[in-house]
């Protein structure tokens, strides 16, 4: 009855009535029932009396125990005062609590007020006192954060940690926020494998109730994987199974591998790798029972333990193909499958077969063909029967092609690379080809794929190219050092997607100790929106040829070439392109003054006949044609595919030079799996003079670094070695010879290279090591006349000179036989000879030169770096081997 009255009165909304009921409840507690009837409403009196009357058979009830109200006699609140607040107004503090003037002050209301104030996280300390209805709330505000300071972090920089910290300057300091930030920082270090990292937060008090928060970080060493234990494996050793895992045991040989750090996600992936491995070996029931990683007490290393259950090994049973598509004969397709009855079961072969059948169906226009394998496991005979069911699906047509994400690149630049048009029958091979062509543009993200989405009907599909543009403009100033060119300075500006039209515009220049050049270029891949490419190059190149003498590099001839080239390309098929070009060059070849005699003529004794014949100014008018076959998946960095080209050039359409030249090359790239890329390449060429003209020295083929590693620049092929004579003794050290490469009219070259993958850490650093084998030769020049002297032991000391000096200082070919090379005394009393050298012509042979080695490409922070260590296995007389080469540069 009382409860119902309280609710009713409370609903009436009058606080005085509610207080009266509360007080009445307290006063009347324990009063007999008949007394209650006197204070209850008349309408309830009869009911109360009837309820209170005892029944005849019922025992008399015991009197109720008195209830004591702890807040009985609570004083009403007269006033509420706030003390200690600095930034907050007293009214703001009061707004956070429910305590009000006029209400009774109770312990419950005081506790609620304390809880409400602490929940704001604005106060460090709060006290509430009541003195005769005067309530005083004493507060101490939390300080304001002035700044955040990180100390001790070297492996993770401030710009990586600060975004993870939620406390920021001008916010209110709270301990809960600091604890959360400490946990976030430690989590960052755990992601790097540093489980021993600790963070100690400190607070530096400042004036005006401000603080600096200092996170003192002790990074610790990376927590490596010390040991990987495998329990339950009977058919494969621990080493075989560890080799399948991404996580590796920490060893000295894996200093650059990030796989030695503990990572829970990597550990879960390793369990999948173990399962994949066993499934490829026929163990269809394999499972990982448990995987536990234990941190050593010093928190430096982890010990990982896998418990596995191998199960039984299965073989393939009957392998069938059931096709519901009218274009496919299931029996014929089953005969072409890679797996056969009796072979060990291999889940990878099953996955590859499903993918292959889907691609085959896609090539016939069934974009949504569904290939489902049905397994028939026989546990008694340990066989796995398999039926590939190709379910019925409609032929699909391209409804539309959408291009999304391109803000600069025009739609037509992407759309014209599609091998399918809207309305065409769907073809999965053409979609893949379109994907590769778009990636080869180099304008978008590397992991680009053309997405396939259902269209408005079951037989319609939407092809969607969601591209993510990357910068295509290049402005580079670089300086570096090369074993070829000594110091190099380069500057270039190029835009590979000019105005979003797919055009390439570039301007470049370079300067080194032995060469300098400037070049402007323009390429339009689709002239007038037709499938015709146009390119124009205008250039000036100055080159100084050289030889070595006494370890010094000496300039032999200087060649300046000014010219331009215009080329146009037309695709003949999807993979075959024809490119026609016209080149006009003006060459000026000259020698240093030391090579001329007093009459101003080139002195063959000093320069050699081959150099004297090369000097002069000539105009070369060259027309050429190339056929290029290209199926590479990516022209920027191919991983699979084939490319080949045949290039022909004819010089003689006007000008002073006449020759015909043909060159061919081919390259094959193969993805060997697990990041290994194997490539084979070969090339060769021949050049012939026309109309009785000999091929000039500057137009011949040359081999050496960098074409064939393991040899110096122009270190392979025909050459003249001039060996100097001192006191009748011929120099035997190559550094004391003059080495002049002559080039050749024929050449061939081949290369095999395997790119070796490293861990993710090395890949992030841009390290790409490889092993290689190079082979090649250049030959086919007319043997020059030489100056030969016989100073060997027992020799007659005579020379067979190419030239004699007649009266007046003119030089003519010698017509006599040997002449005595009689020494004379100079002004210092030293012996000199008329000819102080003997010459040898060597290296003119087709026999191969072979070198093997290891190299590393590194996209270092200061620029591209390439280093090669080579060992020559096969060389010919006169070749100049070189074990170590490198190129390095920097950008600024």
> Closest by alpha carbon to 539, among 601, 487, 587, 593?
587
Helix (H, G, I), strand (E, B) or coil at 703: strand
* Residue where the block lists tokens 């200087």: 558
- Does residue 477 contact residue 491 with C-beta atoms inside 8 Å? yes
Residue 556 has pLDDT above 50, yes or no: yes
Cα–Cα dist 386/374, whole Å: 6
Task: For residue range 114-132, list pLDDT tens digits in order.
Answer: 999 888 888 888 999 998 8
Cα–Cα dist 194/263, whole Å: 10
At residue 396, the pLDDT reads 87
> Closest by alpha carbon to 87, among 128, 143, 129?
143
What long-range pairs does 861-864 form, CB within 8 A, spacing at least 24? Answer: 862/888, 862/889, 862/890, 862/891, 863/478, 863/480, 863/888, 863/889, 863/890, 863/891, 864/888, 864/889
Cα–Cα dist 37/14, whole Å: 24
Neighbouring residues of 836: CB distance < 8 A, sequence distance ≥ 6:
724, 725, 726
Enter the tokens of residue 499: 């105005």
* Residue where the block lists tokens 């020295």: 697
Handedness of CA 138, 142, 146, 152 (dihedral sign): positive
Average the pLDDT over 653-666 and give the result: 92
Average the pLDDT over 684-689 and give the result: 94
C-alpha pair distances (Å), 292 with each of 183, 311, 363, 730: 23, 21, 47, 75
At residue 476, the pLDDT reads 65
- pLDDT category at 639 given cuts 50, 70, 90 is confident
At residue 795, the pLDDT reads 47
- Does residue 850 contact residue 775 with C-beta atoms inside 8 Å? yes
At residue 804, the pLDDT reads 42
Cα–Cα dist 179/253, whole Å: 40
Q: Percent of the chain having pLDDT more than 90?
A: 29
Average the pLDDT over 708-720 and give the result: 88
Average the pLDDT over 508-524 and give the result: 86
More reliable by pLDDT, 613 or 720: 720
At residue 761, the pLDDT reads 57
Residue 329 has pLDDT above 70, yes or no: yes
More reliable by pLDDT, 510 or 818: 510
Q: What is the DSSP letter of 596?
A: B
Helix (H, G, I), strand (E, B) or coil at 4: helix
* DSSP E strand boundaries for 209-300: 210-218, 224-231, 287-295
- Beta-sheet pairing, 767-779 with 144-151: unpaired
Burial state string for 118-150 with b = 16 or more CB within 10 A and e = fewer than 16:
eebebbeebebebeebebebebebbbbbbebeb
More reliable by pLDDT, 593 or 669: 669
C-alpha pair distances (Å), 15 with each of 76, 102, 108, 450: 13, 11, 18, 72
Task: State the chain's mean pLDDT as an integer.
Answer: 79
Of the CA atoms within 13 Å of residue 502, those in its CB half-sphere come to: 22
At residue 653, the pLDDT reads 87
> Closest by alpha carbon to 364, among 441, 292, 296, 428?
428
- CB atoms near residue 800 (< 10 Å): 18
Cα–Cα dist 128/81, whole Å: 10
- pLDDT category at 52 given cuts 50, 70, 90 is very low
Report the phi/psi class of residue 407: left, alpha or beta, with left for phi > 0 and alpha for psi in -120 to 50: alpha
Query: Could you tell me how far CA 304 lies from the centroid of its own chain?
Result: 29
Cα–Cα dist 49/54, whole Å: 10
At residue 581, the pLDDT reads 95
Q: Which helix (H) or strand (E) holds 314?
A: none
Enter the tokens of residue 437: 């062509």
Residue 168 has pLDDT above 80, yes or no: yes
Cα–Cα dist 846/780, whole Å: 8
Strand partners, 40: none
Q: What is the DSSP letter of 458?
A: T
Cα–Cα dist 832/838, whole Å: 14
Residue 769: phi and psi, rounded to 5, are -80, 160
- Does residue 417 contact residue 441 with C-beta atoms inside 8 Å? yes
What long-range pairs does 234-243 form, CB within 8 A, spacing at least 24? Answer: 234/310, 235/281, 235/283, 235/310, 235/313, 236/281, 241/274, 241/277
- Does residue 301 contact residue 224 with C-beta atoms inside 8 Å? yes
Average the pLDDT over 524-531 and give the result: 89
Of the CA atoms within 13 Å of residue 880, those in its CB half-sphere come to: 24
Residue 299 has pLDDT above 90, yes or no: no
Q: Percent of the chain having pLDDT more than 70?
A: 79
Enter the tokens of residue 131: 């003195």
- Beta-sheet pairing, 134-141 with 198-206: unpaired
Cα–Cα dist 384/374, whole Å: 10
Cα–Cα dist 303/76, whole Å: 67
- pLDDT category at 609 given cuts 50, 70, 90 is low
Residue 654 has pLDDT above 60, yes or no: yes
The DSSP secondary structure of 493-523, one letter per residue, reads EEEEEETTTTEEEEEEEEEESSEEEEEEEEE
Task: For residue range 777-831, list pLDDT tens digits in order.
Answer: 999 988 776 665 655 544 445 555 544 433 333 333 443 344 444 444 445 554 4
Q: Is the peptide bond before 706 cis (omega within 30 degrees of 0)?
A: yes
Task: For residue range 55-95, list pLDDT tens digits in order.
Answer: 444 445 555 545 445 555 578 888 999 988 888 888 988 99
- pLDDT category at 723 given cuts 50, 70, 90 is confident
> Closest by alpha carbon to 502, among 639, 409, 608, 440?
409
Residue 763 has pLDDT above 90, yes or no: no
Neighbouring residues of 659: CB distance < 8 A, sequence distance ≥ 6:
650, 651, 652, 687, 688, 689, 690, 693, 695, 699
- Beta-sheet pairing, 460-466 with 397-404: parallel
- Does residue 868 contact residue 884 with C-beta atoms inside 8 Å? yes
Angle value at C-alpha 572, between 570 and 574, nearest 5 degrees? 105
> Closest by alpha carbon to 357, among 339, 345, 376?
339
- pLDDT category at 670 given cuts 50, 70, 90 is very high
At residue 820, the pLDDT reads 43
At residue 798, the pLDDT reads 55
> Closest by alpha carbon to 588, among 623, 608, 555, 614?
614
The DSSP secondary structure of 108-166, one letter per residue, reads HHHHHHHHHHHHTT-EEEEEEEEETTEEEEEEEEPPEEEEEEEES-SSS-HHHHGGG--
Report the phi/psi class of residue 493: left, alpha or beta, with left for phi > 0 and alpha for psi in -120 to 50: beta
At residue 496, the pLDDT reads 85
Residue 707 has pLDDT above 70, yes or no: yes
């Amino acid at each position: 009855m009382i409860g119902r009255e309280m609710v009713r009165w409370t609903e009436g909304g009058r606080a005085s009535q509610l207080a009266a009921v509360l007080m009445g409840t307290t006063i009347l507690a324990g009063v007999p029932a008949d007394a209650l009837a006197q204070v209850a409403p008349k309408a309830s009196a009869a009911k109360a009396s009837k309820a209170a009357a005892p029944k005849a058979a019922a025992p008399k009830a015991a009197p109720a125990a008195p209830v004591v109200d702890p807040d009985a006699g609570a004083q009403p609140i007269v006033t509420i005062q706030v003390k200690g607040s600095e930034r907050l107004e007293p009214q703001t503090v009061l707004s956070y609590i429910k305590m009000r003037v006029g209400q009774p002050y109770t312990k419950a209301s005081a506790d609620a007020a304390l809880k409400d104030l602490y929940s704001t996280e604005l106060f460090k300390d709060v006290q509430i006192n009541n003195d005769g209805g005067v309530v005083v709330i004493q507060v101490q505000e939390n300080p304001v954060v002035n700044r955040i300071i990180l100390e001790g972090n070297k492996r993770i920089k401030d710009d990586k940690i600060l975004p993870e910290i939620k406390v920021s300057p001008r916010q209110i300091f709270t301990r809960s926020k600091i604890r959360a930030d400490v946990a976030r920082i430690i989590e960052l270090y755990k992601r790097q494998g540093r489980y021993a990292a600790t963070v100690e937060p400190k607070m530096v008090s400042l004036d005006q109730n401000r603080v600096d928060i200092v996170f003192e970080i002790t990074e610790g060493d990376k927590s490596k994987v010390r040991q990987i234990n495998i329990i339950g494996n009977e058919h494969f050793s621990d080493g075989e199974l560890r080799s399948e895992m991404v996580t590796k045991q920490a060893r000295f040989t894996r200093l650059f591998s990030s796989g030695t750090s503990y990572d829970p996600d990597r550990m879960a992936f390793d369990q999948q790798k173990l399962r994949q491995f066993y499934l490829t070996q026929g163990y269809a029931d394999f499972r990982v029972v448990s995987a536990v990683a234990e941190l050593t007490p010093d928190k430096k290393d982890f010990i990982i333990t896998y418990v596995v259950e191998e199960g039984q090994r299965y073989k393939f049973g009957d392998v069938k193909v059931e096709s519901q598509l009218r274009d496919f004969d299931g029996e014929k397709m089953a005969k072409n499958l890679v797996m056969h009855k009796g072979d060990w079961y291999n889940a990878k072969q099953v996955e590859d077969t499903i993918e292959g059948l889907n691609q085959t169906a896609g090539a016939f226009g069934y974009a949504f063909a569904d290939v489902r394998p049905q397994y028939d496991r026989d546990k008694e005979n340990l066989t796995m029967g398999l039926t590939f069911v190709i379910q019925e699906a409609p032929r699909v047509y391209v409804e539309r092609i959408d291009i999304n994400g391109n803000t600069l690149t025009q739609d037509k630049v992407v759309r014209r690379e599609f091998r399918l048009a809207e309305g065409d029958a769907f073809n999965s091979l053409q979609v893949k080809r379109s994907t590769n062509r778009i990636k080869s543009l180099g304008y978008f993200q590397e992991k680009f794929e053309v997405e396939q989405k259902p269209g408005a009907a079951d037989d319609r599909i939407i092809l969607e190219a969601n591209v993510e543009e990357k910068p295509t403009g290049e402005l580079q100033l670089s300086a570096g050092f090369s074993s070829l060119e000594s110091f190099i300075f380069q500057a270039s500006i190029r835009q590979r997607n000019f105005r979003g039209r797919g055009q390439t515009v570039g301007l470049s220049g370079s300067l080194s100790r032995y060469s300098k050049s400037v070049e402007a270029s323009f390429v339009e891949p689709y002239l007038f929106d037709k499938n015709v490419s146009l390119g124009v190059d205008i250039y000036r190149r100055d080159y100084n040829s050289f030889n070595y003498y006494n370890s010094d590099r000496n300039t032999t001839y200087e060649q300046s070439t000014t010219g331009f080239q215009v080329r146009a390309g037309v695709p003949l098929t999807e993979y075959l392109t024809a490119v026609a070009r016209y080149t006009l060059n003006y060459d000026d070849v000259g020698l240093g003054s030391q090579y001329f005699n007093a009459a101003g003529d080139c002195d063959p004794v000093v320069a050699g006949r081959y150099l004297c014949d090369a000097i002069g100014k000539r105009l070369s008018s060259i027309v050429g044609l190339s056929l290029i076959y290209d199926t590479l998946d990516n022209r920027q960095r191919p991983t699979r595919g084939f490319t080949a080209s045949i290039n022909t050039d004819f010089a003689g359409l006007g000008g002073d030079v006449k020759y015909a030249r043909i060159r061919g090359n081919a390259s094959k790239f193969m993805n060997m799996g697990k990041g290994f890329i194997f490539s084979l390449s070969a090339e060769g060429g021949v050049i012939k003079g026309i109309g009785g003209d000999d091929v000039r020295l500057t137009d011949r083929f040359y081999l050496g670094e960098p074409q064939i590693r393991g040899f110096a620049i122009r270190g392979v092929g025909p050459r003249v070695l001039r060996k100097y004579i001192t006191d009748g003794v011929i120099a035997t050290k190559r550094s004391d010879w003059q080495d002049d490469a002559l080039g050749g009219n024929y050449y061939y070259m081949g290369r095999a290279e395997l790119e070796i993958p490293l861990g993710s850490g090395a890949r992030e650093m841009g390290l790409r090591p490889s092993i290689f084998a190079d082979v090649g030769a250049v030959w086919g020049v007319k043997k020059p006349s030489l100056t030969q002297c016989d100073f060997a032991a027992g020799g007659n000391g005579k020379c067979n000179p190419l030239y004699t000096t007649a009266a007046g200082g003119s030089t003519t070919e010698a017509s006599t036989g040997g002449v005595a090379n009689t020494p004379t005394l100079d002004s210092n009393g030293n012996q000199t000879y008329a000819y102080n050298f003997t010459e040898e012509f060597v290296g003119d042979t087709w026999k191969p030169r072979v070198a093997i080695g290891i190299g590393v490409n590194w996209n270092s922070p200061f620029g591209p770096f390439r280093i090669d260590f080579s060992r020559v296995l096969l060389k010919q007389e006169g070749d100049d081997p070189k074990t170590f080469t490198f190129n390095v540069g920097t950008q600024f």
